[in-house]
Structure 1
Amino acid sequence: TYEWIARVQFSEMNNVSGKNSGYGNFTSMTATVALGETLPVYYQAGFRSTKYTEHWTIWIDFNQNGTFDSDEKVSYGSSSSSNLLTSSITIPSTALLGTTRMRVSMKYASASTPCETFSYGEVEDYTINVLQTRTTTLSEPLMAENISDEALDFAFNVYPNPAVDEVTIELSGIEGDLMLTIYNLNGSLVYESIINKANNKINVGELPKGIYLIKIDEQKMPLVKRFVKM
């Protein structure tokens, strides 16, 4: 496991967890909300070593039909930070009262669908109790980074993948020099170089067979891709 959901906090519910083999059922934990209010939600990623770009998506089953409809996606953003992140969730006035499910998904490299199974990242489920009006006082907001939901204008592709002798690093939207590094899965640095053009060919012929991580230190957000050396 290289990444996992380390913390989720919403309303009075605060769950600090560890690795859950891809899925954590925390529906025994309940967050109380009220119709029409907007609340901060907090979440945090855990990483074994390298920090990857994780896409966070949250759904709440407001109509209590047992599925997450397209209009029930309440938060989305991406970040490679291991710090506490935050965004806001608004409870619609049309939400049904009572208990329902909230799903928090953290997926590497791209956003997930509500019921998707994926290899890198984690999903956690919680219970939400929707009230007509709030009966308790919320605590003060926490210090956290606002997660970005803006699409990056920086593209990063690696091919061929798997590779035998050479990989091409294809970039677009670059400005100036960028640091490219390659790590093995033990976290050891095996290659580094400064790149500043759209297509960069890297000789990987002498690397042992296995899975490697290519990292580009772009100023907006460090990006990481996996590739297989055959």
Structure 2
Amino acid sequence: YILDGVVPNESLLGITTSEGKLNAANTLQLGVNACSDCPPPIAFTVDNTTPFSAEINWSVVDGASSYDLRYREKGASNWEEISSVFPSYSLGSLLACSTYEVGLKSNCTSGNSDFGFAQNVLTTGCCELPELISADSEGDNVFFTWSEDEFVSTYLFEYRLLGSEEWISETLTENNYVLTEVTPCISYEARLISMCVDFNSESEISDIIVLTTECGSCTGSGYCSLEDVLDNGSEWLDSIAIGDIMFKSGKDENAYGNYLGGPSTSLLRGSLVPLTLVPGFTSTVYDEYFTVWIDWNNDEMFDEETELAFESTEPSSQEINGTLFVPETANLGSTRMRVIMNFDTKQGPCGPGTTAFRFGEVEDYCVEVTNINSTNNLLDGLEISLVSNPIVEAINFDIISESSIELRAGVYMIDGKLVLSETWITSAGNTNHTLDATQLSSGLYLVNVTDGNRSSTYKIIIL
């Protein structure tokens, strides 16, 4: 029956054995006809589908004088039956974006067949989920564009700052939206819903996209990418605290967290910045190696000699605490910071592609390099200054405070290593505090004083 069911094609005459196009439905129908005096149509096609109608077409059954058709919305218990139709019938008064079951039977002079197996028919008019085609930042504007659909009446466009809980909603008739006067170097989330008023339906919510507004070299395209390089199925960078950034990211998709325009901090030239890095695990804990890279010269590369801002001393499964030093030669303005957690070994900022660089996570942030704070005010009502510099035997602080407060001073070598620390309670008014520096070798040091919220850093010379 295979060749008997061929649909002839004149262009294939004398060229192919079939001299036409094979048609599986015709072949099956011929086979069924040979087995029964009055078989039902074996299959049908659906054409000219609209939201409210569909045309059903089927092949003629030998011996059949007419056909009966039945249909129902999928899931319904009762059938609608139409008698004595011929090999084409248009179903009307259907519901948009709905699935119907359709069955056929043959009426022959020798008797009638049973209804054949039902096939599914889907009407159009579904309120389709829109596809975000583009989201671009230009100056202080953000442009969003998405796909159009003939059945969509309006779009519900929602956006918010990354990390915010409240969505801002806009009902639109066009397939685009412009967000104006945006803040530089900040991330927005956006999503869409299609509203089909004619069919009283709406689409699902689209996936959320994240867009970062222009951020100088921090968001430049020259940086090497580490997205989808590592495996964070069992271990990841759970949270970081660097300067003013205190952020719990959890497990990032594709082992890469793009937080450019998200949590940020200011880094003062010549200052020491405290940091805390916390790993996360599914169950078994592993020793991890942490590194922090900062593009101090804004060339969209991480120099392995000069831009390794912090590295852990050894692999550990515990929280890592330390400090990073901001060079006085660092370029001012926004730049990129990359935090890497890698299983067991130290790796470079772009990954060497070795088997050792397999497990862990990478996160990118924007940070702002600023000039050293000249006032040395920690908070309103508190001012600290050095009595003298260079230093001989003791470091003396002059303190003016409106209230009693706890202060901590740390003395660091230029590479960030802590060599001396002390905590004390200062009284209200004008007071003086002295740190014994007799155990320190001559040279250049950094002194950081903090009240637990903010800090000031001084460069000192010990003679």
Residue from 121, 128, 149 that aligns with 2:367 = 128
Residue from 38, 43, 46 that aligns with 2:277 = 43
- Can you list the C-alpha shifts for 1:79-109, whole angstroms capped at 9, x where unaligned? 3334x32111000000000000110000002
Q: Distance in 2 between matches of 1:51 and 1:65?
A: 37
For residue 99 of structure 1, what is the aligned residue in structure 2?
334
Q: Distance in 1 between matches of 2:367 and 2:378?
A: 17
User: How many equivalent pairs are there?
Assistant: 140
Q: Which ranges in structure 2 are unaligned for 5 or more consecutive residues?
A: 1-232, 380-406, 409-416, 418-463
| 2:271 aligned partner, one-letter code | E
Q: TM-score, normalised by structure 2?
A: 0.29
For residue 55 of structure 1, what is the aligned residue in structure 2?
289
For residue 255 of structure 2, what is the aligned residue in structure 1?
22
Q: Distance in 2 between matches of 1:23 and 1:112?
A: 15
Q: Distance in 1 between matches of 2:258 and 2:321?
A: 21
Q: Distance in 2 between matches of 1:96 and 1:36?
A: 12
The answer to whether the aligner puts 1:89 opposite 2:324 as a matched pair is yes
| 1:57 aligned partner, one-letter code | T
Q: Distance in 2 between matches of 1:32 and 1:41?
A: 13
For residue 115 of structure 1, what is the aligned residue in structure 2?
350
Sequence identity percentage: 35
Task: Flag the structure with more relative contact order, 1 or 2, with Cα contacts below 8 A and sequence separation at least 6.
Answer: 1
Quote the RMSD (CA, aligned, Å). Answer: 2.2
CA contact (8 A) 1:41 1:86 kept: yes
Where is the strand percentage greater, Structure 1 or Structure 2?
1
The 3-state SS of whatever aligns with 1:30 is coil
| 2:282 aligned partner, one-letter code | R
| 1:127 aligned partner, one-letter code | C
Q: Distance in 2 between matches of 1:107 and 1:119?
A: 7
CA contact (8 A) 1:51 1:80 kept: no
Q: Distance in 2 between matches of 1:32 and 1:103?
A: 15
Q: Which ranges in structure 1 are unaligned for 5 or more consecutive residues?
A: 142-148, 150-230
- Can you list the C-alpha shifts for 1:186-212, whole angstroms capped at 9, x where unaligned? xxxxxxxxxxxxxxxxxxxxxxxxxxx
Q: How does 1:4-15 map to 2 (within 5 A)?
A: 4-15=236-247
Q: TM-score, normalised by structure 1?
A: 0.56
Higher Rg of the two aligned structures: 2
Runs of 4+ with >3 A deviation: 134-138
The 3-state SS of whatever aligns with 1:115 is coil
